[in-house]
Amino acid sequence: MKLTLTVILAMLTLLGSSLLAQAPPAATSTLTVTPGSAGDSADVPAANILTGEPLPTHRSPLHWGQQSVISFSADQFYWFNRGLDATQQADSSATQLSGLLVYSLHHKGVGMDIQYRPGVWFTDNGSKVDLSNQLFDLHSMFHVRSRWTMSVTDSFGSIPYRGELAYGGLMSFAATGTNFNNLYLQTGNRTTVNNFALSNNFAWSARDNFSLNLGNSYQSTTRELATSIPVVGPGSNGLDSTAINSNADLGWTHRFSSHTSATLNYSYDYSIFGPVEVTSQRHSITAGFAKVLGHQFRTSGSLGFSYQPSFTANGFKQTATKSLVGSAAILKGFRDYEFGASWTRSNSFAGVISSGLSDQFTLTAAHRFGRRLNGSVRGGYLMQQVEVGPHVRGWMGNASLAYDIGHQWSWTASYGYIGQSGISTNPYGSSQVVSFGPKWSWSPAR
């Protein structure tokens, strides 16, 4: 087994690198990247699907033509009560090898970035190999005309049931105005997500932009084991639950200055749930703002109204609902540390398939200790509405350290905690995970 791990790690060193999926900024995206500046959203560069930071514009030392290896890592995970079940106290361990490959092509107003994160899990003392842990992201942008910019994005993620807690990262970057969230409820099931978006931005004048965004997303959760928590969702049969969401978004942005802007958006969502077919619709109108208050100090917020007509799910008639939706974020950077706080109320996918809304609250803080050691602490709370039974609630915490050992290498260690409640058929408890391992990550600035 040691020989197998050595061979695979060597292959990843040559072929790939590390982790996490960013979906396009649609209503049902897996992760959310929120621009904290007052700039043109069409010009936001592709983000690293692991960190949320902008992708490097230069090729890494490990490259073949336009294809570069950005990072790779080998991590050892230890779960405590991995089943997140108050009656199941089984511990577990796994080894993960992963990498991040990026193909970039930028020429005369046309840009394309393709990211692929291969991942291999070795579980149950290395006796089982899971290749389903895969992440993919495509981001392309081109100028159709001088005032018309179009972008196409597609993100795919396949996450094993053991991986949801490992991906519960929360990151904020005050310097880039990015708030990167991945608050997942751990369901004990396998999750598959794909998000596609076609975005158009029209510069009507120097201060006014209009946008038209069309998107389609697919989510699926599958019961992994007979002892797993039952799959929930409007069209769930107890073993599987799926959702296909098509949405259209029309927006207007007015820029008062280089530091202040306001937005007005209307969005329409049409969802088909399965395998027992159920359909629902949602209309939303929101108004928002973004303001840069100073050096690495950014704020943004939005507030609006959402209406969902009545429909029937799981044999129960769901009455029409009127709800407030919105978001708020503050990001502040200092010389050696930065702080971020955010709130979002939307119909974004949060690990449990539902036609309802979810509330997410996050706090993040990062600090640099000297020249080599970086640390961060993160926390979050999530409340997901469901059609039948009590709402599902989750609270998460994470602390991590990264020690720079030179030549783009670092040694990382992290601790994560998640607690949940809400599904009456199988009450949730709490789960913890500890991970550590080496990582190579290329950055032109280092």
Question: Quick check: pTM over 0.85?
Answer: no
Identify the pLDDT of residue 66.
85
Does the residue 343 lie in any domain? yes
Identify the pLDDT of residue 196.
94
Handedness of CA 204, 251, 340, 71 (dihedral sign): negative
Identify the pLDDT of residue 228.
56
Identify the pLDDT of residue 149.
92
Does the residue 298 lie in any domain? yes
Query: What is the number of structural domains in the chain?
Result: 1
Using CB atoms within 10 A of its CB, is residue 439 exposed (0-12), middle (13-18) or buried (19+)?
A: buried
Using CB atoms within 10 A of its CB, is residue 328 exposed (0-12), middle (13-18) or buried (19+)?
A: middle
DSSP reduced 3-state for 124: coil
The CA distance from 396 to 378, in Å, is: 8
Q: What per-residue string of b and e applies to 289-298 under the rule 16 or more CB within 10 Å gives b?
A: bbbbeeebbb
Identify the pLDDT of residue 57.
74
Report, as ranges of residue numbers, the positions in the chain whose pLDDT lies below 70.
1-45, 81-91, 124-128, 132, 160-188, 224-230, 314, 423-429, 445-446
Does the residue 446 lie in any domain? no
- Provide the strand spans (E) within 256-296: 260-274, 278-294
DSSP reduced 3-state for 83: coil
Identify the pLDDT of residue 80.
74
Return the C-alpha torsion angle 328, 180, 79, 409, nearest 10: -150
Q: What is the CATH number of the domain that holds 387?
A: 2.40.160
Q: Domain span at residue 240?
A: 2-441
DSSP reduced 3-state for 428: strand
Does the residue 290 lie in any domain? yes
The CA distance from 326 to 343, in Å, is: 8
- C-alpha distances (whole Å) from 111 to each of 54, 203, 442 are 14, 19, 21
Using CB atoms within 10 A of its CB, is residue 134 exposed (0-12), middle (13-18) or buried (19+)?
A: middle
Helices and strands in the chain, H and E counts: 1, 26
Using CB atoms within 10 A of its CB, is residue 338 exposed (0-12), middle (13-18) or buried (19+)?
A: buried
Contact between residue 351 and residue 185 where contact means Cβ atoms under 8 Å apart: yes
Identify the pLDDT of residue 118.
85
Identify the pLDDT of residue 234.
85
Identify the pLDDT of residue 21.
29
Contact between residue 203 and residue 209 where contact means Cβ atoms under 8 Å apart: yes
Closest alpha carbon to 170 in 383, 329, 276: 329
Does the residue 118 lie in any domain? yes
Does the residue 317 lie in any domain? yes
The CA distance from 436 to 402, in Å, is: 10
One-letter amino acid for residue 259 of the chain: H
What token pair was written down for 365? 């803080």
Closest alpha carbon to 407 in 436, 374, 440, 375: 440
Does the residue 383 lie in any domain? yes
Q: Degrees (nearest 5) of the Cα angle 411, 81, 413?
A: 10
One-letter amino acid for residue 198 of the chain: L
Q: What per-residue string of b and e applies to 246-273 under the rule 16 or more CB within 10 Å gives b?
A: bbebebbbebeeeeebbbebebebebbb
Closest alpha carbon to 110 in 147, 70, 138, 150: 150
The CA distance from 424 to 439, in Å, is: 41
Identify the bridge partners of residue 418 per DSSP, sorted by sequence position.
396, 431
User: Which residues 6+ apart lie within 8 Å of 181 measured at CB?
Assistant: 31, 32, 170, 342, 344, 360, 362, 380
Does the residue 22 lie in any domain? yes
The CA distance from 286 to 376, in Å, is: 33
